[in-house]
Structures are given as structure tokens and as C-alpha cells.
Structure 1
Amino acid sequence: MNIMTRPTVAIVAAAAILICGVGPGFGCALQKEPVGDGNPTFVYEVSAVEFTFVGSMKKLNCEALNFCSITWYKDGSPYPWKSSDHEHLEDRNQVLLIKDADFNDEGKYTCVVSNGKRSVSRSISLWVKEESYNGPPVLIEDKESSCINHTAKLGQTVSFYCKFYLGHQTAGLGSVGWMKVVDDVDTPIEVIQDIDYLTKENFSENNSVISARLYVVDSKENAFGTWKVYAENGYSTEVTLSLNHIDQIKEDDERVHTAGNSSGEYSVTITLLSVLLVVSSSLLFLVTGLFVRSLKKRSIIQAQEIGSDENFNQTKTTKTETK
């Protein structure tokens, strides 16, 4: 996924440290009758990314059931982080209230909910912006977003979902759209034939966030390839995505696998030849050694036989002279 912003602008993002599991609240006791299975659970879902503006009041919600304690963390550090004049907890720690937000309040806030035996947690990334922000739309990447590349089969329906921060002053005035790259040309989806699709857009966070969803229905051959989503607020930001054909990926994998097998077979062949060469060399060395030893032994035997003959002749001559 490639993101292109015109003009570029630096955006401060919060560092994320997720706290969950055992620890806070273990050993406490429920003050009310448990609901359902008695395990701690959240009342409703919230956005994984929330916004506020410098000088504004902001509430982060962690409303839950079946709990006896709720512990808050900011980037891994437990509450409190500043004085109670700046932030405090309400409603049995289910709500974190930031009274006068500033850039130091940016970060990842995690609430850990416990019933004394089990715990659950969730995190919210808080972005703090100037009300006078006048930059290009910013892509929001969170667990809710599916603004990523996808892989599908022919006939399968695929959904792309991207969210952008527009800014406070341009709230409600932004727009989003989709394009398909056809023959290296960015083509608006509205003019492409033979692609069944459905688009939706929605504003949230006091109209400072816009979301764009694209459903590619019953994907055909011409639906695969490169797509682009753009957001505008006086500036323009583009995100490049791809829809890949799963069968093509399998073919590529098979080619790589086949090449790997061929390489492996070649390596095995070379290894066997190397072993045969070593064995042959060893046998040749052994045979040569045996042959040389045989020659030496034969020479020794011949020398001994010659020495015996000379001794016999000398003995015979001596006996003749004596007679």
C-alpha cells in the first residue's frame, strides 16, 4: 500500500503499548450481581482512533459489565499522568475525562477491566490537533480499517475500507472517491464498464473524519489490478491498493516451488557426483597402494631366491674343490 500526499505534512502519531491480561484488579470482588456468564465485558464498541482539538474537553469511554476494578494506562504508564485539574476518572473509572487537551495528551490509552479472576482490555489512540489545521487528509490506520491489499478468487466480493482525517475547519466539506488503473491511466470507477461495485462514504468525529468503502461485487478479470482511493479537503491524498488474483499467486508460488525443486535436484546430483568422485579416488589410491606393495613383495621374494641360488652354487663349488 502506497500513500501519496500533496503537499506532504508531518503528522505526529502516538506510540502504542498494549496492556492486557493478568495484573490489575485481581483479588477484588464484584459489588453487583453478575450479568450473563459473569465475565467482564464492554457495553459497546468504540473507535480505535479518536480526535480532539487543543483546548477542548475529551472523554474516553470504557463502560463495562461484571467488573470490580478498571485500571487506565497511557503508553504503558498507569494513571495518573498529570494533576487532577487536567484529567480525572468518573463513573467507577469507566470514563477518563481530559479537561483541557494539549499535544502531550496524544497517545494510546488502554483500560483494563477485571472481575477479580479475569480481565479484558481495549485501547484507544487519541490524536490532538489544532483547530486551525489546514493540511491534506491523513490516512487513519487502525484495526477497524481494511485499507490494505486484498486477494480474491473470480466471482468473490471484496471490500476496501479507508478512513481519513480532514481537519476541523474543513469538516463536512471533504470528499472521497475511487479510481482503477487501466492501461496505466487513473480511471474514475464511474466510467469503467463491466465492474459491479458499490461505494459508501460517511462522516464522523464531528465531521472531521471521512470514511470511504468500496465493494467490488462478483469480481471479474478486469476488477483485478491496481486501485486508488483519494480524499480531498482542498488538498488531496491518494492511497494505492491492489486486488490480486489468488490463482495467479498460486501459479507464481508453483513456479517458485518448481524452480526450488529443480535447484534442489541439481544440488543432489552435484552432491552424489562429489561422493562418487571421492569414493573413486579412494579406491584408486587403495588399489595403487596394493599394487605397489605387491611389486615390492615380489621384488623381495626374487632377491631372496637369487641369494639362495648363489649360496647353493658356492656350497657346490666348495665341495668339488674338497674332493
Structure 2
Amino acid sequence: MSLTRHLLLFVVLVCGTYGLVDYCAVNKFNTNSTYLQFTKEISSEEYAIAGAFKSLHCCAKGYRSIEWYKDGRPYPWPGGVSHFILYPESANQTIYAQKTSLESDGGNYSCLVRNDTTEKRHMVTLTVMESVTYSGTPLPTYVPKDVVVQLGDDARFFCEAFVGHIPLPDAHSAISWWKDNSSEFLNQHRVSQMVRQRENKQILGSHLFIRGVRREDLGKYTCRITNLDLQPLDLTVSLRETEVLLQTEPARTTARRTLKLVCIALLIPLLLIVLYLQFGLQLRLFCRDSLCRPDHNDGKQYDALLCYEEHDAEFVLGVLLPTLENRYNYTCIARCLPPHDNRAIWNLELAGAAENSRRLVVVLSPALLGNKWTSTCLHEVLSVLHGLHPALVCVALQSLPKNEFVKGESGCTLPSLLCGLSAPVEWSGQSEANRRDFWIYLRLRMPPRDRSRRGAQDCKQPIAQISVTGSNKKKAIRANSHESLEVLV
């Protein structure tokens, strides 16, 4: 009797061991990839009878280690926590207990598989039941998932449930697949069902394989599991085409894409306008100085000849001249013009210096016009100076007179004369922004900057803000060039 009992125990152990090793080795997904992944459908719910054999699985590949936890506590576990142990022959993919305990073995078990770069976790909840037999509604251990395929590919479904075991001759459980309440489809040669049993037939599962999916194969499928033919469990899934899934929201996707394109089309011009308003002058000046090089072989000695009236000497020699020379590296020469009544001798006074300069910069103020700030006087002065030098740059100390239609001796009006010249640059020293724009506009009318020359106080000379109104008092003026000192003498 003792020999028979040991023989039966040996058979049970051998069969159980074979089941442990075989479970993760069969019915795997049809893939040749080597990255970290689970190799088959793994249950998320498990059920066991107290005192019976039970195993839990974590079938995977592409991993370097598997770690098991129960309720967050890592393996190994003392007997008061769990009686489950690792089965090394399955590469640690399986844990099992010869006899489950109602008090300690139930709970949440999880496996963590990882390699050098990736990790995946799966959790299964084990419920241990006290009753030796179970005849209630089947309890799902794996709920099938919807499948999305392209036409012509293969489809695979799986469902599984705990059905228990009743020792009666007419008691049996069953599992089958149905499509849209029709069994004719399942009789085709390219459709097959495979019933899977484990845990001494207490857990019943089934695979449904469809080879070469056709359009008529799409639809809903139901997995029905029965226990004693009285209490069925129906699990329903869908088979859909990939293109159908992608086209479920075409209108919304197109609308979003159109909205994005419209926003981009509106924002880009707006951004360009804002950038131009903020940095347009600086960009124009930078491009001009970078792309255009000064011509040192034009026979000119100076970049600019500065012409002014004696009352404007403080502005010219205290602000304009030192800033152009020291900050922006221009070579300049300054000439004080004879009084307004002696314009006839301007040609004699300025001819040589004008011919030797690339620009003729004239400071326009009421004092230069004999305190007659009119279009007539301004037209006469600009006509004389334009005849001296074709590249005339006007710096106005106050706004030019308007609404006066005056023709000179040649029949040219003041607006047409100004159109032939560079637009006058108006000095306004009230704010830093106005002074910055003044120097940018003036430099745009000057020759390209020669960066090879360095002033004695390059980028350090402040732009002074001084009064430019006439005064009868003697002015203390510090010139920054030999020509400026000559004018002062």
C-alpha cells in the first residue's frame, strides 16, 4: 500500500513538473523578434482550491532577469506570506506551490522582467477557495482583447476561465467560439479552434486562429464557456481592419491639421512684422556693413564733410563729429559755413573738401537759413549744396516746413528736390530710443563702416543730449580731430 502511494505521488510530481516546463514553451506568439516582450497570453486572474497544486506564470523573452513580488514584497517569501517557490527549470518564468494555503497564498503576485534598457511588469491576482469543488459560473482568468489587422494577415484570439471540477459522471465543461451568432464561419478550413486545459482541467481556455483575414471575417466574436451546461460565460471581442481604425476620425484630423496650417500662416507674417519693426533698421544696417565693403581706392580721404552754421557748432563738434569718429570709425572733416547772406562763397570754401569726401553732411537749422525757416530758403540752400556734392546727407535739427509749394530757378519744387536726395534725418535727443534710431538712419546714409579702423574711444563715447538753440554766449567746445580744432581757431 505504501509503495502504491509513493508511486502515485511520483506520477503526480512528474506530470506537474512537465506542466511547469511546458506551459511557457508552447502556444507562443508567432514572432521572431528578440526584443523584450511577453511570449503568450498571460492571465490576470487566477483561482485555486485550498490544498491543491497551483502555478503562476510570466512567459517572456529578451530579458536578463525576472523578479517576483507578492503584494509589493520581493521573493523569497516566508511561509506566513506565501508558499510559492521559483521553478528554475523554466528560467524563473514560473512559481508554484504543491499545496496552496487559504490563509497566506492568496493576493497580488507580479513579475518584473527587464534587460539593460527596458522593463515590463505584469500582475496577477490569486484567489484561494476553501471548497473542494466549484460548480458556479465560470470565472474569467484571461479576457480576450480586440484585434486590429490588415486584410490578408492572420488573427489570433484567446479566452480562458476557471471552471472547477465536479466528480460526477455527467458533469462536464465546454468552451467554443461563435461569430455573429453563426457557426458556419467556423467550419472553414482556414479557421481553427484549439482548446487549452491546465490545472487538472480546472482552467479551460481556447485559441481561435483565422488565417488570411478577409473583409467578411471582420465583426464580433463571442467566446462561450459553460459549466454543467447551465451557467455560460460569454466574452465578446471585435476583429477590425487597420485602415478602418485609422479613418474613424478623418474629418477631425483634417480640421486640426488645417487649423494648425492657418495659425502658422497667420503667425509667421505677424512674427516677421514684429521682428522687422523691432530690429528691421539694425538688420538693414548690419547687412549693409557686412556685405558692402568701403572703397579705399576711390581717391577720397574722408568719409564725410560736416557743414554747419556757427550757432550749431556745439551739436556738430560736441555730438555729431566725435560720435561718428570714435564710436563708428568714420573719418570726418568739419567746416563752418559763412553766414546765410554769403552763400555765393560756399563753393569756394567747400569745393576742395567736398571733392575729397564721400558724403556731404549738412546740419539744417533756422540759423543756417538766417532764421528764415521756410521752404523757399531751404530750397535755395539745398540746391547750392547739392551742386557741390551729389551724395548730400541732411541732418535736420527740427521738422522741415510743410504745405508750401515753392519752385526754384530750375523749376524744381522742394518735394521733388528732396526725393532726389536721401530723406533728411531729424535729430531728437529726448529719449534713448530716438537717439538710437537717429544714428541708425544716419549710418544708413553714410558709406559702409570700415571695421578695420578703431577709434581711440571705440564703443565708449556717450551720445550727449545737449541744447542746440542759438546763444550769444561764447561756447566751450572740445573737438576730436585736427579739422575741428582749425574751425574753432
- With the length of structure 2 as denominator, give the TM-score of the two structures: 0.36
Q: Is the 8 A contact 1:170 1:208 kept in 2?
A: no
Q: Which residue of 2 aligns with 1:305?
A: 372
Q: Is the 8 A contact 1:204 1:210 kept in 2?
A: yes
Q: Which residue of 2 aligns with 1:232?
A: 226
Distance (whole Å) between structure 2 residues aligned to residue 90 and residue 226 of structure 1: 40
Distance (whole Å) between structure 2 residues aligned to residue 91 and residue 151 of structure 1: 36
DSSP-derived class of the 1:188 partner:
coil
* Deviation per residue, 1:136-193 (Å, 9 max, x gap): 222213xxx8x22212222222111111111233896222222323xxxxx2233679
- The match for 1:58 among 26, 43, 53 is 53
Q: Is the 8 A contact 1:163 1:212 kept in 2?
A: yes
Q: Count the aligned residue pairs.
A: 227
Aligned amino acid, residue 177 of structure 2: W
Q: Is the 8 A contact 1:101 1:128 kept in 2?
A: yes
Distance change >3 Å, CA 129–CA 256, structure 1 → 2: same
Q: Which residue of 2 aligns with 1:270?
A: 266
Instruction: Say if 2:181 is the partner of 1:204.
Output: no
* Deviation per residue, 1:56-114 (Å, 9 max, x gap): 1436599xxxxxxx997534244443369x959799999864546205312356799xx
Q: Is the 8 A contact 1:52 1:126 kept in 2?
A: yes
Aligned amino acid, residue 44 of structure 1: V
DSSP-derived class of the 1:210 partner:
strand
Trace 1:243-262 onto structure 2 (pairs within 5 A): 243-252=239-248, 258-262=254-258
Q: Is the 8 A contact 2:102 2:130 kept in 1?
A: no
- CA root-mean-square deviation: 5.0
Instruction: Say if 2:211 is the partner of 1:217.
Output: yes
Larger helix share, 1 or 2: 2
Q: Is the 8 A contact 2:366 2:372 kept in 1?
A: no
Distance (whole Å) between structure 2 residues aligned to residue 205 and residue 162 of structure 1: 16
Q: What is the identity percentage for the equivalent residue pairs of Structure 1 and Structure 2? A: 17
Q: Is the 8 A contact 1:52 1:101 kept in 2?
A: no
Trace 1:54-93 onto structure 2 (pairs within 5 A): 54=50, 56-58=51-53, 60=55, 74-75=70-71, 76-82=73-79, 87=83
Distance (whole Å) between structure 2 residues aligned to residue 45 and residue 123 of structure 1: 21
* Deviation per residue, 1:194-238 (Å, 9 max, x gap): 894212223332222111221123211111122222212222222
Distance change >3 Å, CA 138–CA 111, structure 1 → 2: closer
Consecutive unaligned residues of structure 1, counting only runs of 5 or more, are 1-42, 63-69, 113-121, 182-186, 283-296, 307-323
Distance (whole Å) between structure 2 residues aligned to residue 300 and residue 174 of structure 1: 116
Distance (whole Å) between structure 2 residues aligned to residue 88 and residue 195 of structure 1: 43
Q: Which residue of 2 aligns with 1:139?
A: 140
Aligned amino acid, residue 107 of structure 1: G
Trace 1:8-87 onto structure 2 (pairs within 5 A): 44-46=21-23, 51-54=47-50, 56-58=51-53, 60=55, 74-75=70-71, 76-82=73-79, 87=83
Q: Give 1:304 deviation, angstroms.
A: 4.7
Distance (whole Å) between structure 2 residues aligned to residue 208 and residue 148 of structure 1: 22
Trace 1:153-164 onto structure 2 (pairs within 5 A): 153-164=150-161
Q: Is the 8 A contact 2:87 2:96 kept in 1?
A: no
Distance change >3 Å, CA 165–CA 281, structure 1 → 2: same
Larger strand share, 1 or 2: 1
Q: Give 1:268 deviation, angstroms.
A: 1.0
DSSP-derived class of the 2:239 partner:
strand
Distance (whole Å) between structure 1 residues aligned to residue 178 and residue 225 of structure 2: 12
Instruction: Say if 2:128 is the partner of 1:128.
Output: yes
Q: Is the 8 A contact 1:177 1:231 kept in 2?
A: yes
Q: Is the 8 A contact 1:226 1:241 kept in 2?
A: yes
Distance change >3 Å, CA 190–CA 269, structure 1 → 2: same
Distance (whole Å) between structure 1 residues aligned to residue 264 and residue 86 of structure 2: 70
* Deviation per residue, 1:268-296 (Å, 9 max, x gap): 123145447768999xxxxxxxxxxxxxx
Aligned amino acid, residue 218 of structure 2: F
Distance change >3 Å, CA 256–CA 88, structure 1 → 2: closer
DSSP-derived class of the 1:44 partner:
helix
Aligned amino acid, residue 154 of structure 2: T
Aligned amino acid, residue 244 of structure 1: R
Q: Is the 8 A contact 1:109 1:124 kept in 2?
A: yes
Q: Is the 8 A contact 1:133 1:167 kept in 2?
A: yes
DSSP-derived class of the 1:104 partner:
coil
Q: Which residue of 1 aligns with 2:177?
A: 178
Aligned amino acid, residue 141 of structure 2: I
